[in-house]
Structure 1
């Protein structure tokens, strides 16, 4: 708030208080020539008269006391522009005190799990329960309440991990985030293979996700392989198995983060993609990040040992 606005608020508050004092004083006294309280000429049913008597003195004094209380309150707690009041109280300080108390309670709750390995936490029901609660408050916005993701947001319940599904790798993802970039290859591919280059590459990428498909009778895919070998192989590998160090997905598992339709793949190849998993180290801290990482790891590595069904959705679906 600027100094001018601060003085405006102070002046407005002072005028309101003085105006109330004057109005109370002016209306609480009778003046010479005022009609008597019963001379209102308001009558009903012949014997019911409306009077206009002054308010009782105790009520008037009580009103004055409320004004004195308001002045003392503003003097102590502030409330007029930049003036902070004699107490120095602010809502920000109050919030910081409450937050410190709440953080202390949370720290005590999470203390038994400090530094515990992810797989050990995943085996403890209470730890998984806490991790699920943290997930619901922090991660479900993107990955969904069931952790099955959506277009552009990975499914955390299957066996597909673009950056690796080891416990420590998941913890690193939660703490420091990830940034997956698929460059815009449209101009490069077009310069190499002409106007149909993107369609050729799409055909080959779709063929990679179709086991047993031969390129001998698929002209588009066979042309796309040449382009793939010249551009895409650097990240996704010769066999299309991807590279977890780069976050480059496996193109043979039929899991498609942004959809596997021809249009979705065309968009990915021609225009690129930029996926960001925000870092949560500052927000959650080490222990809470461990708990939520343990919960996420348990979704694909349940304590009973039953592994999730591998992703094998139809080619036209999207995860």
Structure 2
């Protein structure tokens, strides 16, 4: 088995131990059509799984074709995959149009796709790499704006809909991420508030989520330090534990460890009718970090 495939399988098993084959007694998204960008891995994968369990038909949108198709195939006919680079308008427009053409509507868009950026190119403000800065902003901000634009076009005629975007604790305070990433996540909060103001008259709710650190591939790849000859499954197991231990050391709320499934649950709440009067809100899922400490200068 190729090392890359082994890595994907092992990491998925670490994040989502055991196969959840049964549906919950109350399905909170029954009959809903949802898109999750960046849905092939990490928080996106957890959200796809949870939305599908709660009765939604889910479209995974990602640039990782192998992982995206594998996830869709594993979850059955209610989940499908479309290749989408969220920084390209033609890809985003095709994603929305294809979904509406197939299912007749779009109820939920989760703008989850994002990048942290190359840490080696994001050091001091006096020497950051401009091209890398632009890449992060194109994926994180342009991607969210394009998602909002084309989802709104599909939702406005129906007078209902829900748009959720992924921000971060780095979008709440400084010192929690590289400059480009921090700027992009602040921008997402601003876009969320502005879009909520505009789209409220059309019955469309717009919210975002700001998590603290979750041991996903993106965060692990940014922090990892290992030898090239290590086995890939050993790398992920050790790096997940190492990353979670570091996050726990910074946490204000002691006891639980923040997992991808916790952010998926937050997205489920915002996507469901339980939050039918919630709009323009940034749901911070950080165990109190942003209200209890100063910059940690990560």
The interval holding the TM-score normalised by the smaller chain is under 0.3
Give me the TM-score of the superposition, normalised by structure 1. 0.20
Query: Rg: which structure is higher?
Result: 1
Q: Which has the higher strand share?
A: 2
Give me the TM-score of the superposition, normalised by structure 2. 0.21
